[in-house]
């Protein structure tokens, strides 16, 4: 049985990896966004301070620095020092009683500092032995940056939660084909074991029965030996089909060549004509092609058509009909194999390509077969880019359309 813990652990790992990857990208993007806007904010403030300096310097050069200085932006503060003595500062209603401490920061370079509960951005410059400090309170800008950081944090949290559910859904979708393949493989092994067990059991019982009567001659046990040989042939056929199926599963290259499909089908038709006569069945072939040539793998195409013709003969009775029809539509060849045999139940039609599937009616009628042929046909059709369309009515017959492209990509 399949260890479900493997899928559970794999799913958890994939979810964690998805969350870590998405969270990592979100954090990197959020940090980039925050520092980008922080840089823009400080650059904007510094530009305003420099503009303020240009505006103030013109006033100082025009008149005495003791005259009231008009500020370009009322939010700015200006402090003028003659050596270490404060000789002028702006008075505002908002910062009337605040006189920031003098700093020893580099002249002509903007910097940020705190004074009490306030945060300032300052540009110190010198003019004519005067030190001018142009200062702006940036608490409002920092408040906006903090709000941006809070919004980014909330966005990351919600994104991680949403990512978890998306990762859970996508992981389930991603693991579904693997899980189905695992279940299919397990079922295939179980079915193969069951199908192989039956002929082996029969052969073993026949051989044991021979050992119980060692004095009997071959003539006495001819029926027993014949049964054992039939089961051996059936076992050999089943193993051959399993090998064919595994080869089609693992195929990586095709022998693409120019194929005369009319000639190919005619050869198959001639091979089965004698069989049809011996079984008293009507076997016909009709070719409506104008262009007989396609590019494909001739041997695999032959094998594909043979599977359906072999099934048509297997599931038809005396005096019933089997027909091969070749038509063309657009860039496709449509090979139709039709019979008037036992047909397929509508409920079974969707399972006919499953490995080892055989309907109860077929098993009850003891019709020889392993249930692998159509699975091989399905794999060949995938490798050749063909499509198979089955149609069937129980007790009226079946029809299979093989849509063959003229050119394989």
- What pLDDT score was predicted for residue 55? 82
Share of the chain above pLDDT 70, in %: 83
Q: What is the mean pLDDT of residues 117-125?
A: 86
| Stated pTM of the model | 0.53
Q: What is the mean pLDDT of residues 232-237?
A: 75
- What pLDDT score was predicted for residue 249? 62
Distances from the Cα of 302 to the Cαs of 167, 293, 315, in angstroms?
Answer: 46, 14, 20
The residue with tokens 């370009």 is 72
- The 10s digit of each residue's pLDDT in 292-331 is 899 998 988 998 998 899 889 988 989 999 999 999 988 8
At residue 98, does pLDDT exceed 60?
no
- What pLDDT score was predicted for residue 99? 55
Share of the chain above pLDDT 90, in %: 21
Structure tokens at 406: 């003229």
Give yes or no for a contact between 134 and 73, defined as CB atoms under 8 angstroms apart: no
Pick from 18-32, 42-56, 75-89, 139-153: least confident: 75-89
- What pLDDT score was predicted for residue 166? 87
The residue with tokens 């401490």 is 101
- What pLDDT score was predicted for residue 65? 47
Chain-centre distance of CA 224, in angstroms?
55
Pick the residue with more confidence: 315 or 207? Answer: 315
- The 10s digit of each residue's pLDDT in 244-303 is 666 666 555 788 899 999 999 999 999 888 889 989 999 999 999 988 899 998 988 998
DSSP 60: H
- What pLDDT score was predicted for residue 210? 80
- What pLDDT score was predicted for residue 1? 46
At residue 229, does pLDDT exceed 90?
no
Which domains does the chain show, CATH number per domain? Answer: 4-143 (no CATH), 253-405 (3.30.565.10)
CB atoms within 10 A of CB 28: 10
Structure tokens at 74: 């009322």
Which string of DSSP letters, residue by residue, matches 146-178?
A: HHHHHHHHHHHHHHHHHHHHHHHHHHHHHHHHH
Q: What is the mean pLDDT of residues 9-24?
A: 85
């Amino acid at each position: 049985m399949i260890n479900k813990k493997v899928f559970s652990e794999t799913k958890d790992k994939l979810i964690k990896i998805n969350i870590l990857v998405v969270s990592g990208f979100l954090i990197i993007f959020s940090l980039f966004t925050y520092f980008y806007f922080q840089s823009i904010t400080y650059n904007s403030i510094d530009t305003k301070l420099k503009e303020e300096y240009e505006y103030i310097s013109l006033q100082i050069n025009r008149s005495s620095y003791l005259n009231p200085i008009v500020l370009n932006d009322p939010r700015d503060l200006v402090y003028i020092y003659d050596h270490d003595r404060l000789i002028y500062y702006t008075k505002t209603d908002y910062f009337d009683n605040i006189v920031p401490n003098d700093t020893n920061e580099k002249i002509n370079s903007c910097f940020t500092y705190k004074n009490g509960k306030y945060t300032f951005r300052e540009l110190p410059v010198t003019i004519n032995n005067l030190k001018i400090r142009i200062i702006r309170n940036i608490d409002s800008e920092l408040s906006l940056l903090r709000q941006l950081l809070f919004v980014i944090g909330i966005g990351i949290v919600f994104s991680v939660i949403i990512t978890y559910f998306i990762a859970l859904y996508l992981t389930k979708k991603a693991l579904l084909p693997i899980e189905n393949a695992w279940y299919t493989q397990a079922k295939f092994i179980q079915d193969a074991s069951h199908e192989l067990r039956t002929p082996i059991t029969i052969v073993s019982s026949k051989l044991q029965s021979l050992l119980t009567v060692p004095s009997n001659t071959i003539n006495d046990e001819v029926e027993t030996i014949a049964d054992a040989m039939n089961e051996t042939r059936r076992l050999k056929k089943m193993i051959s089909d399993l090998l064919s199926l595994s080869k089609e599963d693992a195929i990586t290259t095709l022998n693409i060549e120019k194929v005369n499909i009319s000639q190919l089908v005619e050869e198959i038709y001639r091979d089965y004509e004698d069989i049809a006569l011996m079984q008293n069945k009507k076997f016909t072939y009709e070719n409506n092609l104008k262009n007989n040539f396609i590019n494909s793998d001739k041997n695999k195409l032959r094998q594909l058509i043979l599977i359906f013709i072999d099934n048509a003969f297997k599931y038809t009775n005396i005096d019933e009909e089997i027909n091969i029809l070749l038509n063309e539509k657009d860039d496709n060849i449509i090979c139709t194999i039709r019979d008037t045999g036992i047909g397929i139940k509508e409920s079974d039609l969707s399972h006919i390509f499953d490995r080892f599937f055989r309907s109860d009616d077929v098993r009850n009628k003891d019709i020889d077969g392993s249930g692998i042929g159509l699975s091989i046909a399905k794999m060949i059709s995938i490798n050749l880019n063909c499509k198979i369309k089955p149609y069937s009515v129980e007790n009226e017959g079946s029809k299979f359309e093989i849509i063959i492209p003229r050119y394989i990509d």
